[in-house]
Each structure stands twice: as structure tokens, then as C-alpha cells.
Amino acid sequence: MAEKSVIEAIREAMYEEMQRDENVFILGEDIATRGGVFLATQGFLDHFGEARVIDTPLAESSIVGISLGAAMSGMRPIAEIQFADFIWPAVNQIIGEAARARYGSKGILEVPMVVRMPYGGGVRGGLYHSQSVEAYFAHTPGLYVVAPATPYDAKGLLKESIRSNDPVLFFEHKRTYRQVRGEVPDEEYTIPIGKAEVKRKGSHITIITYGLMLHFSMEAAEQIAKEGIEVEVIDLRTIKPIDKPTILDSVAKTGKALIVYEDNKTLGVGAEVAAIIAEDCFENLDGPIVRLAGPDLPAVPFSPPFEDLFMVNTTKILHAIRNLSAY
């Protein structure tokens, strides 16, 4: 099996789906002639032509608006938003329209649209290239919110998202693009939306995480195992809908839950996970549900030492594991 980076896996997923289904097309800023700012669509213009690989103006509202209309007309658009930080002009198209189209039309209108968004910090990107915005969208019914962490999951979930008949917001952590490599099968496969995965088995503490934080959590789990603490690590993979059974099964077993996410702590994905555990797993809890997340700052800071302070990392996770383990 070949080792691939996350960005290669994403490129492959789109390439294969565009070959498989001629209704699939891509649009976004600089995605055609320049192959995208992260080169996710490099070479696509030559292969699929300008009718299916479309450079757009700097206008997110129109990128998503065009996608929305095309999707309602039977096409399968993949919209690339250059950075998730820039999504705000398109929020009305996503939340106001795409999320409600099926419901509001009694199922007549479908929106088979994928909005790809590179997100997350730890890349010295500063205030406008580091945001985590997934929680805003996960609040809204009618949207799928997907956030893979590995090349394998990225490819399988993106293919599944492109085939979905409802809108999917596909969050790709920038730092994983080239820094995370892993095996990706040559054979065709997809991964169902809404299924978390236990990435590491353990019996003492459950870590629930997603995105870049999965990799730090895995690092921490491996290190702390030397101290005799066995951590079970759950990668949510899909944020909306959240895979409750996988979380509850694990916490019922371990009795302790640590939720690790990069976004600001307050009202983030971790708040929902904590509530799920408190509601449905109360009698199995043997310690406080702990959230380890970014501080409530307006943005990821640009100054390197401040950014390091902002970001959850392996050391912080180790510290949280030790505290919760000692409880």
C-alpha cells in the first residue's frame, strides 16, 4: 500500500470522483490555472478542462451561491474556499439556504454540494489563516460537517461527501496536508459519514478528538503508556452528526473522558461531546469530563510564542491526562 500525504489523498479523491461522474466539477479561487493555493487541484485544468475546473472571483458568496444553484440543478459541485477564515460572506448561502433546501421544499430540492475548507492553526498563519470555524456550522441541522485527520480518512470521507445528496462542509486541517503521511489503498473505498473511529485502544481514559489534535493525542497516549496509563483515542472524523455510540461505549468502559480540540473552548465541539457524555453516560463517570481546548481568544495569534501558547499540544495533553488519571 502506498504512503500518501493528506493533500495527495484529497487530490486523488476529487480526481477519481470527477472521472467517475461527469456531474462533479470544482470551483474556487486560483484552483484552475494555479492548481489551488495548497495545490489540491494541480493538473486538474489540463485533464478535465475549463468547463469543470473553474477559477472564480474573490467572492465566497458567489462561489457557494453558484455551487448551490448548480447542485439544485443536478450537478455535484466541489467548492474550494481558500481558507476557512474567508467563509463568512457565504454563510447565508450555506446556513440560510443550503442547509434548509431539502426541508423547506418537502424533499424536492437536493443540494449535493461539498464545500472544502482548509482550517486550523499551528502554521504561523496569523489571524486570517488559522481559524477553526467548524462549530458554527455543526450547530445547524441540514449540514454534514466532516473533519478527517489522516490521508486514509480524508480520501474515503471526501469521496463519500461528493456522493452525498446533502451539503457537506469538508474541513481539512492545513497542518496535516503535508506533515501527515499514511497508507492509502489503491483500491476503491469510501468511509461513511457519521462514524467515529477508535484509533487506539485503552482502558483508563478516553480521549475524544478530531483533526490535527488526533495526532498530538496519539503522541501523548503513546508516551503516557510508559507510565502505565492506557488511553483510548477516538477520532470523531465527522462532527455533525456525532457518533454517539462510539463515544458512550468507550467512556462507559474507562469512566473518564478528556475532550481535545483546537477551537476556542467555549461552545466548541467539545461542549457538545461533554453534554452527550453527561446525559447518557452519567452513571459510568468516575471523574469530571475535561475539555482541553484553545483559549477564548478572538483569533489565533500571529506572534510565534503566542501561537504556541494558544495551540493545544502534546505536552498540554500529557498534563491533562495525568491530572484526570490521578483524580
Partner 1 sequence: MTIKIDLPQVGESVTEGVIGRWLKKPGDFVEKFDPLVEVITDKVNMEVPSPYTGKLIAILAKEGDIVPMGQPIAEMEIEGLSDDEPKKFTPDEDSKRRIGTLIHSPYPMGPTGTSNLDTSIVKEDVPKTQRHSPAVTRLAKKHNINLSKVKGTGLGGRITRQDVFNQTSFSEQASTFKPSTKTEPLNVNVEDQIVELTPVRRMIAESMSKSATTIPQVWSILEVDVTNLVKLRDSLKEAFQEKEGFVLTYLPFFVSTVAQCLKNHPLLNSTWNNHNIVLKKNINIAIAVAAPHGLMVPVIKDANHISITKIARKISELIVKGKNGQLTIHDVQGGTFTVNNTGALGSVASQPLINPPQAAILTTEAIIKRPVIINDAIAIRSIMNITLTFDHRIMDGQEAGAFIIDLKNRLELIDSTTKINSAP
Which residues are designated catalytic? 129
Which residues does 92 contact at the CB level (< 8 Å), separation at least 6?
Answer: 61
**What is the grid cell recorded at 85?**
477564515
Whole-number Cα distances in Å, 146 to 28, 131, 196: 19, 16, 11
Q: Does 87 sit near partner 1 (CB under 8 A)? A: no
Nearest in space to 152 (alpha carbons), one of 119, 188, 182: 182
Angle ∠(219,299,195) on CA atoms, nearest 5 = 45
| Residue 72 CA from chain centroid, whole number | 24
Three-state secondary structure call for residue 148: coil
Task: Return the residue matching grid coordinates 465541539.
Answer: 269
Q: Does 306 sit near partner 1 (CB under 8 A)? A: no
Which region among 22-30, 226-234, 276-284, 300-308 touches partner 1 (by CB under 8 A)?
276-284
Q: Does 194 sit near partner 1 (CB under 8 A)? A: no
Closest approach of partner 1 to the CB of residue 69, in Å: 44
Interface with partner 1: number of residues (CB under 8 A): 22
Which CB sits closer to partner 1, 241 or 295? 295
Which residues does 282 contact at the CB level (< 8 Å), separation at least 6?
Answer: none
Which CB sits closer to partner 1, 115 or 324? 324
Q: Does 228 sit near partner 1 (CB under 8 A)? A: no
Which CB sits closer to partner 1, 77 or 270? 270
Q: Does 69 sit near partner 1 (CB under 8 A)? A: no
Could you say which DSSP state residue 75 is in?
-
At 214, the amino acid letter reads L
Q: Which of 23, 140, 314, 323 binds partner 1 (CB under 8 A)?
A: 323
Q: Provide the b/e sequence for 300-309 (b: ≥16 CB within 10 Å).
A: bbeeeeebee
Which CB sits closer to partner 1, 182 or 287? 287
Which CB sits closer to partner 1, 115 or 257? 257
Closest approach of partner 1 to the CB of residue 151, in Å: 29
Q: Does 287 sit near partner 1 (CB under 8 A)? A: yes
Residues that bind partner 1 (CB under 8 A): 255, 258, 265, 282-288, 290-293, 295, 316, 319-320, 323-324, 326-327
